[in-house]
Amino acid sequence: MSARVAIVTGGAGGLGRTIGEVLHADGFRVALLDLKGAPEVAGELGVLGVPVDVTDEESVRTALARVEQEWGRVDALVNNAGVEPPHTLETVDPATWAQTLDVNLAGPALMIKNCIPLFRRAGGGRIVNIGSRTWLGGGASAAYAAAKAGLVGLTRQAARELGPLGVTVNVVAPSFLRTPLNATKGDPEFVEAFAERFAAASPLGRLVEPREVAHAVAFLLSEPAGAITGETLHVTAGTHLAPYIH
Ligand SMILES: NC(=O)c1ccc[n+]([C@@H]2O[C@H](COP(=O)([O-])OP(=O)(O)OC[C@H]3O[C@@H](n4cnc5c(N)ncnc54)[C@H](O)[C@@H]3O)[C@@H](O)[C@H]2O)c1
């Protein structure tokens, strides 16, 4: 059988690129889909790079058609694209709510919807949605925490609906990672101080590395994980167990 095909959205970003590298090393044919920089990052990794806006269904259809044209099939979808525009409940405006919910929640739903015909043709499939430990206890901006909690609900519903097609659907929920997403949150000293408090609050006394999240994704896409569906796997160095970190 030819190598399985995996799509990673947000594939030009910090975590997405690492997931792409790990899946490529695992023998997947990898397509990195991103709003910005996909062809460049994919070129560096020797994989396929395709522009997409996950909030735009026409763009999603065009990107999936490109992957199908290249390899004729899709076996795995990693919904990793995400944004976290900074706000508090006092400062948030409707546009920020809409953008955060669109990219982090409606985007994965649109990707899943449009992958269903491909999974039908492949006789099954795997979906991993990248969540966040903030779905459990907050500790992020409100729209982001709400979107990530919604993603768990979407995952469980999708696991029910797509199970009969042989598709598993799970969440991998990381904690703080040193990626560009956090660089947009404020000045570097603030982010560094947050990272230190975070590591101190971990039962393991450390942060999580992006490659550790990527390997959790790879496990859920592997053959032995085929009976796991509707699950949320926390990759947090235990910080989802710890007291609230802010
Ligand atoms: N960095 C963290 O601390 C952290 C913690 C928990 C969960 N996460 C999650 O991990 C995932 C990856 O985040 P990251 O840390 O690598 O951030 P990142 O900013 O490095 O990457 C996010 C990528 O998503 C892309 N993107 C944004 N909007 C898009 C759209 N409309 N269509 C397509 N692509 C779009 C961006 O261009 C970017 O390349 C996100 O879902 C994020 O919520 C991150």
Phi, psi of 184 (to 5 degrees): -85, -5
Q: Specify the 3-state DSSP secondary structure of 232.
A: strand
Residue 244 lies in a domain: no
* Among 41, 77, 83, 240, residue to substitute to test ligand 1 (most atoms within 8 Å of Cβ): 83
Are residues 12 and 32 in contact, defined by beta-carbon separation less than 8 angstroms? yes
Q: Are strands 76-79 and 5-9 parallel, antiparallel or unpaired?
A: parallel
Taking the centre of ligand 1 as the mean of its atom positions, its distance from the CA of residue 181, in whole angstroms, is 6
Taking the CA of residue 59 as reference, the ligand 1 atom at the shortest distance is 32
**First vs last C-alpha separation in the chain:** 49
CA gap 105, 140 in Å, rounded: 16
Which domain covers residue 187, as residue numbers?
A: 5-235
Q: Is 125 part of any domain?
A: yes
Find the 146 Cα to ligand 1 centroid distance in Å: 16
Tell whether 154 is covered by a domain.
yes
- 217: in domain: yes
pLDDT in tens, the chain (246 residues): 679 999 999 999 999 999 999 999 999 999 999 999 999 999 999 999 999 999 999 999 999 999 999 999 999 999 999 999 999 999 999 999 999 999 999 999 999 999 999 999 999 999 999 999 999 989 889 999 999 999 999 999 999 999 999 999 999 999 999 998 887 667 888 888 889 988 999 999 999 999 999 999 999 999 999 999 999 999 999 999 966 665
Residues touching ligand 1 (Cβ under 6 Å) are 9-10, 12-16, 34-36, 52-55, 80-83, 103, 107, 130, 132, 174, 176-177, 179-182
147 C-alpha to center of ligand 1: Å? 13
Question: Is 27 part of any domain?
Answer: yes
Alpha carbons within 13 A on the beta-carbon side of 205: 0
244 is catalytic: no
For the chain, how many structural domains are there in total? 1
With respect to residue 164, please indicate whether it lies within any of the assigned structural domains. Answer: yes
Sign of CA dihedral 91, 93, 97, 99: negative
73-87: string of b/e by CB count within 10 Å (b at 16+)? bbbbbbbbbbbbbeb
Cα 51 to middle of ligand 1, angstroms? 15
> CATH number of the domain that 168 lies in?
3.40.50.720
Q: How far apart are CA 123 and CA 85, in angstroms?
A: 38
On whether residue 243 sits in a domain, the answer given is no
Catalytic residue among 119, 135, 144, 176: 144
In a domain, 13, yes or no: yes
With b for 16 or more beta-carbon neighbours within 10 A and e for fewer, the 17-48 pattern comes to bbbbbbbbebebbbbbbbbeebeebbeebebb
Tokens of 195: 């990272």
- Report the C-alpha gap between 49 and 36 in whole angstroms: 10
